[in-house]
Each structure stands twice: as structure tokens, then as C-alpha cells.
Structure 1
Amino acid sequence: MTLRIDAHQHYWQIGARAGYWPPRELDAIYRDFGPEDLAPELAAARISGTVLVQSLPTEDDTRFLLGLADKTEAVCAVVGWVDLKATDAAARIAAFAAHPKARGLRPMLQDLPDDAWIDDPILDNAVAAMVEHDLRFDALVMPRHLDALYEFARRYPDLRIVVDHGAKPRIAAKAVEPWLSAMTRLALLPNVHCKLSGLWTEAGDAGDPTVDDVIRNRVRPYVRVVAELFGARRLMWGSDWPVLRLAPCSGGYGEWLAACEADCARFLGAEAVPDVFGGNATKFYRVGDFLRHA
């Protein structure tokens, strides 16, 4: 039996985010979110476990997430943050990797002033440490970062990389290029995977959209692209909860899951659904042992 995995969700304490996103005016997510908030959604959707992903570029936040993982059975992997260009990056990575649920790192590339930050050989030591400790690299990028990400992924073929949120295509503007061309080239690299997550919140807020409008007229063409580019073995579903609460429609966790399952069956075939919604994340983040003994 294939387990169902949410490959991308967040927890945070709003009091620890002074000076960081989200701003106060985003009422739907400007508060604390913890395991007790997500638990009903996981139960209703029959999700076996989650990948908890950092949302602050601080080691304090990463320690907070690892502490939650210690107490939360449903969290089976943590993607944290380390300064990958620090002179002691290898030691910091080793310390992170010592935690039994540490599975990956994410440098929050979308927020850095240099779009080519990742295309830098100074990362050699950090990447070597990640490979040594069997850690994954989550790439939080936008279309403008994809050329640099391609060079990075090509330089480090032994590093397993996943593109978060399909690289956040400009869905609200109905823009396909340069995202499509860049993603097509990136998908040719076998070490690169992609998360089917975060797309509803890129759909914009024109008018008063219904769930059906968002799915059929806005998001589905982009889901089709990532499904066809990465296929049934390199695509994994994530909720991006609680950021999902910002989606410009009445859809919630269950609706996003159901919409993605239907579209994956449409574009990849029903036999691909168990992999996209659990199997691939289980293998990518090495979480099978936690779930088998839960």
C-alpha cells in the first residue's frame, strides 16, 4: 500500500517573524500555525505524513521545526535552513543532518537580491556536505532564477533537487514564457524533481473566481506542463499549507488535493496517482521507515 504524503507544509509562530513575511494585512495567515491546526485536514484527506519546510532564513527557525518534528508523529521529514555560503557551512550541515528527521535544506532563493546566487562554485563545500549526508535541496525559485538553477543542477549531478511550487509561474498574468522553456530544459536533468504545490496562490484575484474557474481556466494548463515534463516518477504533491489559505477562491486543503489528483489522473493516468501523492515523496525524502513504524 502506497502512503499518502503532503510533501510541502509549514508551521510558524507569528511572534518570531518580525520583519519577515507575512505582513499583518494577510489576515488569513497572520497567526500561529501548528500541528493541531493541520491535524483535522490530514485526517480528512487520509494523509499519512508530511514534509515540514522552513519559512525563515534562520537556524533558530530550523531548530524550532526540528523540535516540533520530535513531538509530532505526522512530521516525517524536515527541510531546514543553513547559510550555505558560510565558511563553516559543512559543519553546520553535519549538525543539522544529525537529527533523525532532517532531510533537506532550502536557501529561500526567491528572496535573495542576486538572482544568480545559486550559480556560484563557492557552494562546492556545502553541496559536498549535503551529498555526504544524503540531504535534498529544495529550490524556492521564480522563473527568473531558472537559468541559474539549471547551471547549479548541472554542476552537481549527485545532488537531488526539487523545484518548489513549480517555480511559481505567473499564472495570474497568463504568462507561459520564459517559464516553459526554462522548465523544459531543467526537466532534462535527471536529478531535478518538481513539487505540484503553491499554484492556486499564483492564480491571482481577478473578479470573484470560483474553485472551478481557478482549476479549469487558470491552473490546469500549468499543472499539465509540470506533469508532462517531470512525469509520474519526479513529481510530488504538496499543500503549501497554510499559505494555501491565501488562494483566491473558496477552495481549501481537500479541494486542492482533489483537483490535483483529478488532473494527474487526466494527464499521467490513474496508475501515476499513488506515486505523485505519496510514493515519490517517500523515496525522495527517505521517510518510509518512519511511516512503516508509525
Structure 2
Amino acid sequence: MSKRIDSHQHFWKFDPVRDSWIDESMSNIQRDFLPEDLEPLLSENQFEGCVAVQASQSEEETHFLLDLASKNDFIKGVVGWVDLRNENIDERLKFFSDQKKLKGFRHVVQGEPDDFMYGEAFRRGIAALKPFNYTYDILIFERQLPAALSLVKDFPNQKFVIDHIAKPNIKSETIYSWKSGIEEIAKYDNVWCKISGMVTEADWKNWKPEDLKPYLDVIFENFPIDKLMYGSDWPVLNVASDYNEVVKTLEDYISKFSIEDQNKVWFENANGFYEL
């Protein structure tokens, strides 16, 4: 069994006001999810570590995740939040720069207007990341792919990774506009993609692995194999599945790949992208 890294998961102490996106339809994740909840799932599925990704938009969130990472060796990296539009963004990045496990940043762009990534202040923040060797996770819906494409073109030296394959509408089986966006953005050398968050875009109650296959096909046909990494999106995945089932779905899909290529998806690519 090769090494494995879960490149995308979250921790939180549930707060109904701050975490209002976790509504009643997601009642089974309206509780705390902490390292002691994840560690047994990782070891059961042969993962040696994970990358904890921000779920709320505050520097407190970044500190919270870094604190968990300092106490839990299996948390190999943190993708935090900082206000990229802040005029003193350089100062904020410098402040965090001694935190070895802080690998990059993310903003919940899916909750912003579609032109958000064209904003001058946001782009100034993106430009500030490279000198500190920080990565950027792109969290969008498929309709925001054109803005993401513009971003990755304009910052060719910045490392980007697309979270949740850009959230196609798997439940309604629409694929074409998303597919053409993926075909374009996958051409850029500075873009990686996380195979994550798919079950929550499918029909929560009734999805089957074959519902995901056309979308996985597009991802694997367009991105080079060394740009793809696995992420569970735990605990959000619990609204539609469980940890073991999500792992098994990808295991089955890539079972015909060479061992070398499987290792890239499970470990090497995330390890290299985040410099874990």
C-alpha cells in the first residue's frame, strides 16, 4: 500500500451563527468535528496525514487550524484564510510566515459575486502570495470558471488548485459548460485539481458511483496525472456518504491505473503541491 494524504478536510467547533451555511438539511454535521474524530478514519484507510482547509473567513480560523496542527502530527499542512483584499496584505503574510505548517490560503469565492476574482484588491492579494511561497485554493461553482481562468492566466507563477473539481451540477447531470471550462483551465501549468466534494454535488440520498464517472472521466482526460490529488472533504461528505465509501469510489475508478499513477493521486501530487 502506497502512502496517502487526504488533501482536503475541515475541522470546526460548531457555531450556528458563524456556520450558518450548515443548514437544517445538513443537520448531521451540525456538531463539532475535531482531529480525534478524523484520525481513526485516516488510519483505517491507510492515510498518513491530511491537509486542513479553512471553512470560515477569519484569521481566527487560521490560528485555530494551526493550533490543531501543532498538537496533531498527522495534520501535515493548513490552508488558512487571510483577507487578500486588505491593503496591508504583505504585513499579514509576513506575520504568518514563521508558521511552517501554513501552506496557503483560500477564500470562499463560491459565495461571492461572479466577478469577484477580477477585483483589483483581490488580485493584489494574489500577487502577494508568491514571495512567501503560498499556494491558493480556488473554491468556485462551475459558472465562475471563466473568472478563474482569467486569474490563473494572469498569475502564471502562482500555484493554484481547484477545489471540488469546480462544483459541476452532478445531481442534474449537466456537464457541457463545466467540461469546456475544465478543458481550458487544465491547459495551464500552474493549476492542479482536487478530486473532492463530488458526492455533495450529486443527489445526496440516491447517488451511485456511476453518476460520478462522466465527471471523473473529464478530469482525468484533461489534467495531467501529476496535477490531480485526492481530497475527502470530510466532514461535509457526511451529508451524502461516509469516509470509507468516498475513498472506495476513487480506489475503484483508478484501480486500472499503474501503481505509479495511483501513488501520484493519493500522495505525491498533494505532497509536492503543498510541500508537506
What TM-score, normalized to structure 1?
0.89
- 8 Å contact 1:97–1:135 — kept in the other structure? no
User: Who is 2:176 aligned against?
Assistant: 177
User: What residue identity is the alignment partner of 1:116?
Assistant: D
> Once superposed, which parts of structure 1, at least 4 consecutive aligned residues long, lie more than 4 Å away?
none
Distance 1:274 1:165 in 2: 20
Match in the other structure for 2:145: 146
User: Once superposed, what is the RMSD of the aligned Cα atoms?
Assistant: 1.7
The equivalent residue for 1:115 is 114
Q: 1:171 to 1:5 in 2, by over 3 A?
A: same
**Alignment-derived partner of residue 283 in structure 1:** 272
1:260 aligned to which of 245, 250, 257: 250
SS of the equivalent of 1:14 reads coil
1:167 Cα shift?
0.4
What corresponds to 1:236 in structure 2? Answer: 229
Aligned length: 276
Question: Is it true that 1:215 corresponds to 2:215 in the alignment?
Answer: no
Change (3 A) 1:204 1:21: same
Q: Name the residue aligned to 1:127.
A: 126
| Identical counterparts, % of pairs | 35
The answer to whether the 8 A contact 2:18-2:56 is kept is no
Distance (Å, rounded) in 2 between the aligned partners of 1:265 and 1:135: 33
Q: Which runs of 5+ in 1 are unaligned?
A: 288-294
1:32 Cα deviation (Å)?
A: 0.3
Query: In structure 1, what is the equivalent of residue 217 of structure 2?
Result: 224
Secondary structure of 2:161's partner?
strand
Counterpart contact for 2:3–2:46, Cα < 8 Å: no
Q: CA deviation at 1:21?
A: 1.7
Asked whether 1:65 is paired with 2:65, we answer: yes
Deviations 1:41-88 (A, max 9, x none): 011001011000000011111111111111111101000111111111
**Residue in 1 that maps onto 2:98:** 98
Q: 1: CA distance between counterparts of 2:179 and 2:19?
A: 33
Paired residue for 1:273?
262
Structure 2 residue aligned with 1:168:
167
Instruction: State the alpha-carbon separation in 2 of the partners of residues 25 and 202 from structure 1.
Output: 14
Q: TM-score, normalised by structure 2?
A: 0.95
Shift of 1:20: 2.9
1:64-115: CA deviation from partner (whole Å, max 9, x where unpaired):
1111111111101000111111111121122223211000100110011x21
